[in-house]
Structure 1
Amino acid sequence: MKSVFHSKLRTFYLLWSTQGLSQLGSSMTNFALALWLYEKTGSALQTAFLAICSYTPYVLMSIFAGALSDRWNKKRIMLASDACAAATTVLVLVLLRSELLRPAHLYILSAVNGLMNTIQRPASDVAMTLIVPREEYQKTSGMRSFSNSLVTILHPVLATTVFAFAGIFGVILIDLGTFFVAFCVLLFLIKLPDIARSEEEGNRTKSLIASSKEGLRYLKRNPMILYLILFLSGVNLVASAFDAALPAYILPRENGGQRILGLVASFAGIATLLGSMAVTILPKPKNRIKVIVGTMFFSLTIENFLLALTDEPVLWCAGQILGWFVVPIMGANLDVILRTTIPVSMQGRVYACRNSLQFFTIPVGFFLGGFLVDQVFEPLVAADQGAGLASSLFGSAKGSGAGMLIFLLGITGACICLFFGSILKRFRFVEQIE
């Protein structure tokens, strides 16, 4: 029985492991470049612009990327996107070598990488659907969360270690090495099952705009999925503003700095790793929608309040563990709902529409988080001069304004969960296994 199981998922294991390795290399480079940019500018907003530039093309072009994914060869899309992303990394290396790298260069290259990710993401999602049996969706979703968690744990530690011994050039060379491995495996060893020829030909005869509109019409006809996407859009707004504020909260503090920021980020990865392991063994819940809303309510409140109202790195790490442990559980339940509800021939278009609607709030959140830290809350706490309520709760040193924002984001997240929870309780997902 075990050998049968492994044969069914052999292609998934191969693709999952090598793509995860490449993701680790890319994350190491992104972490090192973000630190480089913060050291150069000292601004939370300018550092957040890296993420803004990365996500903006993702939001704007996702609908069209899904239509392209449904009509083009999935494997070729993934290969071409990976190759273009690697080329931008090589360009960063060249600019660093020649001492010409500037923040503006990173913004442009982040936008190019975001565009490549936009094109690749729907194709990759459909590819996973094609190579995984339906009864294994929850398990494989947990495994994908597991690899993402490992990346979150390892990339800050590995990036800072390699940076100390070999500089940023060493980090980038590792990134390119992991890309080469993943690219070769995908090119030579991965074969994706074909979608029915009639479905592919039907997609190709439609215009790009008409195909894209079909994804939006599907969501309109399926309000349960639409409301889930809008709910997670609100969650992403809060989470991305938190991510923008976190470096400004930890880096300036006497008990903070780069090492502590990397440690706190690693504990988020440890938590998602544990949550991913839990997903693979947990029984199917009776109400997947309730699990999605409940886990996000717990995550957005506990983590934000614990980080904002405490001044000890060990408690910051505890907040990360409590907040991130439930994220893979949410993701696995959402993944099952989407993959079992949306027809495979429509998934590229629907996933692309989902990406635009669910993730457009991420660049907005990063901008708001960086702007509010730099222009509102840090000046507000500084003007308080340690005499008011804000200073008594969050302190008066640099970084305290970011802590105040993190606390308010926790309240905002709770309100979003309560609002959409009242809407989504009208729906019930009935799971059908072939």
Structure 2
Amino acid sequence: MKNKLRDYYILWSTQGLSQLGSSITAFALTLWLYEKTGSALSTAALTICSYVPYVLMSIFAGALTDRWKKKPTMLVCDTLAALSTLVVFLLYKTNTLAVWHLYVINAVSGLMNTVQQPASEVTMTLIVPKECYQKTSGLNSLLRSVNSILNPLLATALYAAFGLDIVIAVDLLTFVVAFTALAGFIKIPETQSVKKEGTLKLAGEGLSFLKKSPIILTLLLFMSGINLIAFASSATLPAYVIPNPRGGSNVLGLVTSCAGAAMVVGSFLVSYMPKPKDRVKVVFITMLISMGSENFILAFSREPILWCISQVIGWILVPVMGANLEVILRSSIPVELQGRVYACRNTLQFFTRPIGLFLGGFIVDSLCEPFMEAHSNSAMLTSLFGSGKGSGAAMMMLILGLAGSAWCLLNARFMKKYHFSEK
């Protein structure tokens, strides 16, 4: 089994290292931008710029991915993304780095990720035996979880001690490691060649497959709503923790890391848990627990220890959901169609992420914070959400908790119609 997974383990570890480097830079840039603007919306816009090209172009990128060779596609995209990071480094060192530079550069990086991700998804299917899907799905979740733990801690530590330039240098070093491993040590078998048809027609084939697969389409639309709420919460969290008297940038890094620690535990669970009888039901139940816990605890707590607990409860079952959803997709979609279908999945499931980031930042800055400031004399509101800057973000957490729970409950009757049977 180890020999069968050799290429997977090399790709998993080195790409994971590169992703950690990129995440450290992204988190450090968030801190730098919040210091410059003090705005939740401006900070969220940094991530929005990464997701907009990802959402808009994913369907077409998937069609191209099925036509192109996977290894060269991944190498070119990673290189261009690294070059955009190098531009940030040069601008910062020459004291000319501006907010709009980051928005443009993040958009370029997002475009590269749009093409690279479906190629990477198909590559995983090609190099992993079918009987190892659940195990490798758990390991993929573990990698994302470790990343979630380490990147805020390393980013805040490196940024505070050495500045943004050292953070970016670490990012570029991890890219070199990943590029070398992929180029020289991993063999990726190619799929059956796709006819040289138009990109629009190939993209349409991915959409047609989803239309004929109601179980997958329903799950993706359900997850799009989850992503809307989860990313609105992500945009709200810095505005909630940083201005709090018991908060700050270091506390934000600690709280964010707790989510990653919870996902590590969840990833180990899913790697060794037996195959569930109903994977669709698992996806639904895990999200109901997550949506019905984290934001409510954040809304009404004022202690960092409770913020950390909220992250653990809210994120520990996310890898379980992700692994079961991934098994459903990999087992249901023919490998020669996976690039196109995964790209359509990216658009349908993730198009709500930039919307959530925008709404989260906008509502906190323009509605919730002004509302709490105008009603600062209300004993009931201050007892619920506190006072001063950050109290509006606490109110937003309550709104998101209610919305997440309602979305899960409303979808329950639709999810009951479907049962996934593994072949």
**Which band: TM-score by shorter chain?**
over 0.9
Pick aligned residue for 1:90 from 86, 89, 96: 86
Q: Does the residue aligned with 1:106 lie in a helix, a strand or coil?
A: helix
Map 1:251-400 → 2, pairs under 5 A: 251-400=242-391
Equivalence for 2:397: 406
The equivalent residue for 1:72 is 68
Q: Which residue of 1 aligns with 2:410?
A: 419
Structure 2: gaps spanning 5 or more residues: none
**Matched AA of 1:242:** S
1:129 corresponds to 2:144: no
CA distance in 2, matches of 1:165, 1:382: 35
The letter for the 2-side match of 1:282 is M
**1:16-54: per-residue Cα shift (whole Å, max 9, x none)?**
000000011111111111100000001000000001100
What residue number does 1:430 align with?
Answer: 421
Counterpart AA for 2:7 = T
Q: Does 1:159 align with 2:155?
A: yes
* Correspondence for 2:178: 182
Cα deviation 1:203-239 (Å, max 9, x = unaligned): 2321100000011111111111000000000000000
Shift of 1:165: 3.0
RMSD: 0.8
1:6 aligns with 2:2: yes
Is residue 32–residue 159 contact of structure 1 (8 Å, CA) maintained in 2?
A: yes
Q: Give CA deviations for 1:92-122 in whole Å, capped at 9, x if unaligned.
A: 0000011000000000000000000000010
1:215 aligns with 2:206: yes
CA distance in 2, matches of 1:353, 1:149: 25
Contact 1:227 1:420 in 2 (8 A): no
> How many Å separate the matches in 2 of 1:216 and 1:419?
25
Matched to 2:36, the amino acid is: K
Partner Cα distance (2:129, 2:51) in 1: 31
Q: State the 4+ residue runs in structure 1 displaced beyond 3 angstroms.
A: none
Q: For the residues of structure 2 that align with 1:306 and 1:395, how far apart are their CA atoms?
A: 14
- Inter-partner Cα distance in structure 2 for 1:346 and 1:353: 11
Question: What's the CA shift for 1:163?
Answer: 2.2
Aligned with 1:195 (options 191, 194, 200): 191
Determine whether 1:237 maps to 2:228.
yes
Counterpart CA distance in 2 for 1:165 and 1:240 is: 29
Q: How far is 1:389 from its partner?
A: 3.3
> Which of 48, 52, 58 is the matching residue for 1:52?
48
**Contact residue 69 and residue 190 of structure 2 kept, 8 A:** no
Deviations 1:132-169 (A, max 9, x none): 00011010010011111111111111122222332211
Counterpart in 2 of 1:81? 77
Q: In structure 1, the residue corresponding to 2:2 is in which secondary structure?
A: helix
1:124 and 1:46 mapped to 2: Cα distance? 31
Which residue identity does 2:67 align to in structure 1? Answer: R
Deviations 1:288-338 (A, max 9, x none): 111101100110111111111111100100000011000000000000000
AA aligned opposite 2:39? S
Deviations 1:352-378 (A, max 9, x none): 001001111000000000000000000
| Distance apart, 1:287 and its partner CA | 0.8
Deviation at 1:392, TM superposition (A): 2.3
Give the structure 2 partner of residue 17 of structure 1: 13
Give the AA of the match of 1:35: L
In structure 1, distance between residues paired with 2:318 and 2:355: 21
Question: Which of 195, 199, 207 is residue 204 of structure 1 equivalent to?
Answer: 195
Q: CA deviation at 1:388?
A: 4.9
CA contact (8 A) 1:308 1:403 kept: yes
Identity %: 55
Q: In 2, are the aligned partners of 1:386 and 1:392 still within 8 Å (CA)? A: no
- The 8 Å contact of residues 82 and 116 in structure 1, kept in 2 or not, is answered as yes
What TM-score, normalized by structure 1, do the two folds share?
A: 0.96
> C-alpha separation between the residues in 1 aligned to 2:190 and 2:156?
43
The 1-side partners of 2:372 and 2:195 are apart by: 57
Aligned to 1:36: 32
Aligned match for 2:135, one of 134, 139, 151: 139
How far apart, CA to CA, are the structure 1 residues paired with 2:13 and 2:220? 28
Partners of 1:71 and 1:346 in 2: how far apart?
A: 10
Instruction: Number of aligned residue pairs: give it.
Output: 423
1:390 Cα offset (Å) = 2.6
- State whether residues 70 and 190 of structure 2, in contact with CA within 8 Å, keep that contact through their aligned partners in structure 1: no
Structure 1 gap ranges (5+): none
Decide whether aligned partners of structure 1 residues 281 and 386 sit closer, same or farther in structure 2, where only a CA change above 3 A counts: farther
